[in-house]
Amino acid sequence: MKGVQHYSKCATRLEGRGDDPPSRAYADALVEVVKRTGIEAVWHSAVSQKCRALFPSRVFPNVHPKASLKAFHYLVDRVHSIGRPIMSWYGLNHCVGLVEEHPDWRLVPMQGGDIHHVNPDDPELKIYCCINTPYGEMLPEFCREMIRDVGFDGIWFDGSTWAIKNNAVPCCLCEHCRRKFRDDTGHPLPKKPDFDSPVFRQWVNWRYECLMRVWKACVDAATAERPDAVVCFNNYRRWRDVGWHTAIPMRRFGWNAIMAGELDIQSLHGDFQMKMHRAYECKYPPESWMALCDHWMLWAPDVEAEPILQAAASCAGGGGVMSMGTGADGRIVAPLLKQIEETAAPLMPFVDGEPVEYAAVWVSQQTQDFYCRMRPLDGFRAWHGANDLCNSVHLQTSVIFDDHVSEGLLARYPVVLAGNAACMSRRQAGQLMSYVEAGGTLVLCSDAGTHDEMGKPWSRPPLDRWLGIRSRKQGQAFATLDITDRALAAAGGRYISMQVRHPVPEIESSIRPLARLRSWVFGQYGEFTGYDPSGLPAGAWAVRRGSGHVLYIAPDIFLAHCAAPTPRLRGFFLSLLTRFRKPEITLEGPASVVMNTRRKADGSWFSILHNAPGNSHRYPLQWGAGDRLPVRDLVIRFGPHTVKSAVSGLTGKRFRVAGRGRSVHIPEVDRVEVVCFTLKQEK
């Protein structure tokens, strides 16, 4: 819309909702807050919290008794008059008006196994509507109404799952789903979780296709009304203990949409969430929502500013934007909103851009679904651990999904961190081998590649012969790597102990281990004096294949780092990885500083340096009140490139370039700094 900033360009985004049509007083107060604080975009809602239409909809029945287009037009016009876009909130799995009209369209949750029990007579369930009923065809038309008739600039889909109860209880077993599943697959729909059943596993994947059909239809409907309309989806596939339950997949989309999420008041999760959301390859940079509260005290006025500002910096570093919720009236935290705008706005020009790639973290849906099964948190811990381990030693990271691997879209990444990607198709194994033979570096841990893509154990894993593994047996509770390679031992110490699941492999005699493995139980490490590790099984090794290398580490070091980060593991990992693949850019500085480097369209580079106190502590990190201490005397080092000049993207201050253009000295970083580089053109 002319004169209104596009939502995707806004550095700050403020949530608002309502159970009634917006009053003039509400609209005027909202505009007052926005003007006073500088907030750049807002949400309201065209529906109540149970998704009853608050305007006279021609698509959904049983609208609010005071439904009014006039009220919304006043709100939208007032917000547009100050150049701000306004989005409509909508809970995608809610539609109380349709459920009242058609009780058989209600979601019917699956029960059994480890799924949280739900009382089928709970009145709360009467608001959930199944997407395989005609609701799935009506919702895109309702999106058109919200854009065309009400005047919203886009839709922010909350509750965008096919589940209930904090999205941990999967749906749906209604008659419409039963018919569709039988029509699509020829099988009866499973009644309860049973991962031993191929049909149940098929149902897990079938649900993804059903939900994505509706998501895509909503995007197409909104952009058909207005090509610049924005649709955001709240991706509940995140830190909480949900995975396949949500029916939200992890795959490449390429849609004209925004992949969104929530930080769960975990200030420093923004870095990983943004990278995971960017892997969906949507048109616009991602975002993640942060509640403006301390320890879930909604909505108190005494909110600590620092965790919120840390979250904004973390999101920007990862390549996205933080949105936020304040409750009913933003005036109560107006000073904080102004601080957020002052922190986020200068970072907005540096949110987008292509990462200067080094390590790609394989975030594997099939492994989380069929190996972690009812413990999806294990998957997130390992992925966070891989990202944070790289951050703590200042190596660049991105995220890739199963289809990136299946389609062989790996060449741009010098390193792939597959970690414990236990579920792997034969095609994916072949693509990884081709990637390594073409010069890539692959890191595998634990049970990587031992199951197929549906979670069935391979009788002979496709990668094992290539890795030099003859056989495996399950280890005990604790694993200690005895580092036998001198350079690695010098970098991190001789011993690294972890309490993680691990195999004890038998390998080809021609392979020289970099570390030996002792598998032990609590309090029984064993004899130490005069100990010769040569009789122990291999714990880590590297094999050259073609022009590249594959590295195997028996314990899952990424899961271990998430649970108990140590300087020893950081030193070992940095020395190991950079031995086989040198990074183009790295940082000398404390582990608490996260560096993300991206390229602009003109070829120039910039690094966002985020001083993230607590970054080296264990997850889940809920860092609240505390001191932020500036860090000093950082040095950014370049590999094959020469720097002509380096300036602050925030202040314009020039930084000293030394070492014949291979190093840049940063005197101090308080919370966040952006360093913009002019590189010498290579001949």
* Buried-exposed string 538-574: b where 16+ CB fall within 10 A, e elsewhere: bbbbbbebeebbbbbbbbbbbbbbbeebbebbbbbbb
> CA–CA distance from 603 to each of 353, 414, 563 (Å)?
10, 19, 39
pLDDT of residue 530: 54
Distance CA 551, CA 590 (A): 26
Q: Which of 573, 567, 575, 469 is nearest to 513 (CA)?
A: 469
Classify strands 469-474 and 585-588 as parallel, antiparallel or unpaired.
unpaired
E strand or H helix at 574: helix 567-580
Distance CA 301, CA 526 (A): 56
Give the tens place of pLDDT for each residue, 81-113.
Answer: 999 999 999 999 999 999 999 999 999 999 888
pLDDT of residue 475: 95
pLDDT of residue 627: 73
**2 pLDDT exceeds 90?**
no
Q: How far apart are the first and last CA of the chain?
A: 45
What integer best gives the mean pLDDT of the chain? 94
Percent share of the chain, pLDDT over 70: 97
pTM, rounded to two decimals: 0.96
Please tell me whether residue 148 adopts helix, strand or coil conformation: helix
Give the tens place of pLDDT for each residue, 494-526.
Answer: 999 999 999 999 999 999 999 999 999 998 887
Distance CA 576, CA 590 (A): 19
Q: Which of 386, 392, 443, 444 is nearest to 415 (CA)?
A: 443
Confidence category of residue 615, pLDDT binned at 50, 70, 90: low
Give the tens place of pLDDT for each residue, 23-56.
Answer: 999 999 999 999 999 999 999 999 999 999 999 9
Distance CA 623, CA 606 (A): 27
According to DSSP, residue 346 is labeled G
Give the tens place of pLDDT for each residue, 469-499.
Answer: 999 999 999 999 999 999 999 999 999 999 9
Going 445 to 451 to 453 to 455, the CA torsion angle's sign is negative
How many other C-beta atoms lie within 10 A of the C-beta of residue 281? 14
Residue whose structure tokens are 């209104």:
4
Query: Largest Cα–Cα distance of the chain, in whole Å?
Result: 85
pLDDT of residue 115: 84
Structure tokens at 194: 């049973």
Distance CA 370, CA 361 (A): 19
